[in-house]
Amino acid sequence: MRKKVLFLDRDGIIVEEDQVDSLEKVKYIPGVFGALSRLCQSGQFHVAMVSNQDGVGTPSFPQESFEIPHQRIMQTLAGEGILFDDVHIDLSLPEDNCPGRKPRIGMLGEYQTDAYDLEHSVMIGDRLTDVQLACNLGCKAIWFADPSRSNELSAELASVCILISNNWAQIASFLLDESKLAPRTTTLKRQTKETDISLSLNLDGGGLGTMETHLPFFDHMLDQILRHSGCDISLHAHGDLVVDEHHTVEDVGLALGAAFLEALGDKRGINRYGHEILPMDEVLAQVALDFSGRPYLQWNVSFSREYVGSFPTELVEHFFKSFSDSAKCNLSVTVSSGNGHHQIEAIFKAFARALRFAVHRNPYSDALPSTKGVL
């Protein structure tokens, strides 16, 4: 999971714009503590300060005059849970044309790697040069200014500026709510010599889509996942059915599991566990799952028949084992004796209902449902 970065200016968004060279000059921008606290504690961002401090170390701005108020600012922020992962401060004068001085990005090379998701990262600053820095770096900008000034943005700057606001509460809600409400989706293509599968998944859908494998009974079962999971899924699989059904069933399980793992992202706010006890006439199925990051299949199933129609019942276990392996989930499946068709259909329905609960995301929580700190 690549990290999104929240790049924060200091003067003009955290403290009032000034040469802050004494404690008396530290005046905080209203609302900054609550908003930055929410943003930092959401865990969604790598937080980096990026500030120009003109001519620190020169007689007009001695090092100590910068350091004392700066350390006080950082301590006060830390007391509110606002911790910076990185602090980049350019101490040069404008006429020095230093490569690290905003809007240049000489200090920010470390973020131009695969470890960071710059496209979804945001620079917040009060100057047009902060917005220009976002352009230069390839991230988005929030211009901390009165929205009535929007006409000052050039077309280039407007293209990266996702919000103009000088209201911290609004900015925090904008950034947090956007990501919380964004649907969790993924698309996947899986091609081998045996199968060719394309798949799109939306965990926050409404049970819409189609799943086609050219295996009628299997399609009927996959349709149970679609209808009862609440996820939108489109899946098309072309497998080597002239050999047999084995590769198609296995690879659909692998593809579906991989798509769920990918769409769940960092798993913040999800239920993680899901279970369902589901009756179907004479049969009772019980499925429990845990998106724990560790694959394991408990399979307490004995089918009454070897085939349902032309579909070999042994492949049902293979499907769920493949799903568990690639979704990295713990999956427990138990079913009573009874009609083979009912046994399988009850398992698929119970699985879908358990999935629905496990992937459900609480929009008011960013908590990771684990004591380990990672899932």
For the chain, how far is it from start to end, CA to CA, in angstroms?
12
Count of residues of this chain found to bind Mg ion when the rule CB under 5 A is applied: 4
Residue type, 82: I
Indicate the residue among 12 and 253 with the shorter CB distance to Mg ion: 12
Write down the least CB distance from residue 102 to Mg ion, Å.
9
Indicate the residue among 126 and 223 with the shorter CB distance to Mg ion: 126
Indicate the residue among 161 and 284 with the shorter CB distance to Mg ion: 161
Token representation of residue 76: 């006060």
Write down the least CB distance from residue 12 to Mg ion, Å.
3
The answer to whether residue 114 is catalytic is no
Distance CA 199, CA 234 (A): 6
The answer to whether residue 9 is catalytic is yes
H/E stretch holding 252 reads helix 246-264
Token representation of residue 228: 């009862």
Is residue 49 classed exposed, middle or buried when 0-12, 13-18 and 19+ CB atoms within 10 A define those classes?
Answer: buried
Residue 90 interacts with Mg ion (CB under 5 A): yes or no: no
Strands 45-52 and 161-164: unpaired
Distance CA 135, CA 113 (A): 17
Indicate the residue among 48 and 197 with the shorter CB distance to Mg ion: 48
Collapsed DSSP state (helix, strand, coil) of residue 285: strand
Close Cβ partners of 152 (under 8 Å, ≥ 6 residues apart) = 128
Which residue shows structure tokens 């990026």?
50
Region near Mg ion per CB under 5 A, out of 118-126, 254-262, 268-276, 342-350: 118-126
Candidate residues 12, 100, 205, 269; the one interacting with Mg ion per rule CB under 5 A = 12
Indicate the residue among 51 and 330 with the shorter CB distance to Mg ion: 51
Token representation of residue 308: 């349902």
Candidate residues 126, 245, 345, 366; the one interacting with Mg ion per rule CB under 5 A = 126
Whether 322 contacts 250, CB under 8 Å: yes
Say which of 9, 21, 223, 232 is annotated catalytic.
9
Region near Mg ion per CB under 5 A, out of 24-32, 119-127, 157-165, 197-205: 119-127
Candidate residues 11, 232, 245, 250; the one interacting with Mg ion per rule CB under 5 A = 11
Residue facing Mg ion at closest CB distance:
12
Region near Mg ion per CB under 5 A, out of 3-11, 63-71, 131-139, 320-328: 3-11
Candidate residues 4, 8, 9, 272; the one interacting with Mg ion per rule CB under 5 A = 9
Indicate the residue among 18 and 314 with the shorter CB distance to Mg ion: 18
Close Cβ partners of 64 (under 8 Å, ≥ 6 residues apart) = none
Region near Mg ion per CB under 5 A, out of 69-77, 126-134, 172-180, 271-279: 126-134
Q: What is the DSSP string of 158-208?
A: HHHEEEE-S-HHHHHHHHHHHHHHS--EEEEEEE-SSEEEEEEEETTS-S-
Write down the least CB distance from residue 193 to Mg ion, Å.
57
The binding site for Mg ion (CB under 5 A) comprises: 9, 11-12, 126
What positions carry a catalytic annotation?
A: 9, 11
